[in-house]
Amino acid sequence: MLPYLLVSGLTTGSLYALVAMGLVVVYKATTVVNFAHGELFMIGGFLAYTFHVLLKLGYVVSLVLAVAAALVLGLVTERLAYRPLMRAPAISVVLAAVGFSFVLKGAARQIWGGLGDYMPFPPVVATPAITLGGLILVPQQLVVLAGALICMGLFTAFFTSTRTGKMMQATAENAKAARLVGIRVDRVYAFTWGVGAATAAAAAVLMAPLTFVYPDVGSPLLVKAFAAAVLGGFGSLPGAVLGGFSIGLIENLAGGYINTSFTDISAFLVIMLVLIVRPTGFFGPRAVRRI
């Protein structure tokens, strides 16, 4: 059972990691947590469903289209929920994003709701489970895991090697200085939100074959991605990845060994304990008070 739980844990963990990365990249650039992030994931999943199941397009094509559409949606979110509120207190931005998330959720229910609440997504890889010396491996899970790792790799490469990625890093570190060297900071912000949304959608499309597509997936996912990011010391991309994998593993192990009803809650118990003992997160910097 343990190997199976570990693989499951790593698989869901990889998706939490991907979603958390999207959250963190927006936070690093704009110091705002995008509370519509979960719903961007959700829409990504529904879009993939539309492209792949309803329009019968290929899986990879659907993935690309869904990610592109989510990128646009991310730009829209920034325009509606962030830009007009740049000078408002932080909680206003949070609530505006939340308002937008409700609009997205309601819209999804209206548009796709008629087809049933929980929509199944066909598996990408139809081969049955492989038994490898006592280890049962489900190819679909491995494909998802591989896909997620590839996405993370692409994302990191984009961020560190491309010109746009470096501009995003510069803006995240010091917006004023970035402006002074000619970087169009507001465009970078918008693009950052788009990229964040795109990662969420990618995660959704990868995840879709393993579970259902449904409108309410956004909230719990946001909470877990947030938890993963905080565990990793909010503001660190590698930390978010580690946090995501940690939560995936904790969840599956608790669900397997204790009780399935413990799946959702175990991660939170761990987080509460970690934050009480180490307030800056497990992988974050040790906090010292400086003036």
Partner 1 sequence: MGGAPARPGPSSVSRLVVRDVAIAFGGVVALDGVDLELGAAEIRGVIGPNGAGKTTLLNVICGINPPDRGEITLDALPLVGLKPSVIAAHGLGRTFQATQLFRGMTVLENVMTGLHGRLDEGVLGAVFRSRRLCDAEAQAAARAREVLAFVGMEKFEERLATELSFGQQRVIEIARALISEPRVLLLDEPAVGLSLNRIVEVDSLMRRIRDERGVSILLIEHVIRLVMDVSDRITVLSHGRKIAEGRPEAIRIDAAVIEAYLGKDLHAGSPAP
Partner 2 sequence: MRALAGRRNVLALAGLVLLVLPALANPYILYVANMALIYVILAVGLNVLLGYAGQFAFANAALFGIGAYATGLLQVRLGLSFWIAFPAAVVVTTLIGLVVALPALRLSGLYLALVTLAFAQLTQWLMLNWERVTFGAGGFKVPPLTFGPLPAALGLYYLSLVLAGLLVGGAWNTVRSGIGRALVAVRDSEVAAEALAIDLARYKAIAFSISALYAGVAGGLYSAILSFVAPEGFDLFQMVVQFSMVVVGGLGSVWGSVLGAGLLVTLQEALRAFKGGQEIAFGLVLMVCIVFLPDGIISLVKRRARGWEEPLRAPDRRA
Instruction: Name the site residues for partner 1 (rule: CB under 8 A).
Output: 288-291
Using CB distances below 5 to 8 A depending on partner kind, what does residue 290 bind out of partner 1, partner 2, none?
partner 1
Task: Report the nearest approach of partner 1 to the CB of residue 192 (Å).
Answer: 28
Using CB distances below 5 to 8 A depending on partner kind, what does residue 227 bind out of partner 2, partner 1, none?
partner 2
The footprint of partner 2 (CB under 8 A) covers: 33, 80-81, 84-92, 94-96, 98-107, 109-110, 219, 223, 226-227, 230, 234, 261, 264-265, 268-269, 271-272, 275-276, 279-281, 291
Using CB distances below 5 to 8 A depending on partner kind, what does residue 288 bind out of partner 2, partner 1, none?
partner 1
Alpha carbon 170 to its chain centroid, in Å, reads: 23
Q: Of the two residues 209 and 243, which places its CB atom closer to partner 2 in the complex?
A: 243
Task: Report the nearest approach of partner 1 to the CB of residue 279 (Å).
Answer: 17
Q: In the 3-class helix/strand/coil scheme, how is 63-84 assigned residue by residue?
A: HHHHHHHHHHHHHHHHHHHHHH
Task: Report the nearest approach of partner 2 to the CB of residue 283 (Å).
Answer: 13
Q: Of the two residues 153 and 285, which places its CB atom closer to partner 1 in the complex?
A: 285
Using CB distances below 5 to 8 A depending on partner kind, what does residue 30 bind out of partner 1, partner 2, none?
none
Q: Of the two residues 132 and 291, which places its CB atom closer to partner 1 in the complex?
A: 291
Task: Report the nearest approach of partner 2 to the CB of residue 241 (Å).
Answer: 18
Nearest to 190 by CA among 79, 35, 32: 79
Task: Report the nearest approach of partner 1 to the CB of residue 284 (Å).
Answer: 15
Q: Of the two residues 147 and 284, which places its CB atom closer to partner 1 in the complex?
A: 284
> How far is the CA of 195 from the CAs of 13, 166, 171, 269, in angstroms?
20, 14, 15, 31
Q: Which residues contact 104 (CB under 8 A, 6 or more apart)?
A: 36, 39, 40, 42, 43, 218
Q: Of the two residues 57 and 95, which places its CB atom closer to partner 2 in the complex?
A: 95
Q: Which residues contact 175 (CB under 8 A, 6 or more apart)?
A: 185
Sign of CA dihedral 70, 74, 76, 80: positive
Contact call for residues 64 and 180 (beta carbons, < 8 A): no
Burial class (CB in 10 A: 0-12, 13-18, 19+), 43: buried
Using CB distances below 5 to 8 A depending on partner kind, what does residue 56 bind out of partner 1, partner 2, none?
none
Task: Report the nearest approach of partner 1 to the CB of residue 180 (Å).
Answer: 21
What gap in Å lies between CA 236 and CA 178, rounded to an integer?
20
What gap in Å lies between CA 44 and CA 62, rounded to an integer?
10
Burial class (CB in 10 A: 0-12, 13-18, 19+), 16: buried
Q: Of the two residues 181 and 291, which places its CB atom closer to partner 1 in the complex?
A: 291
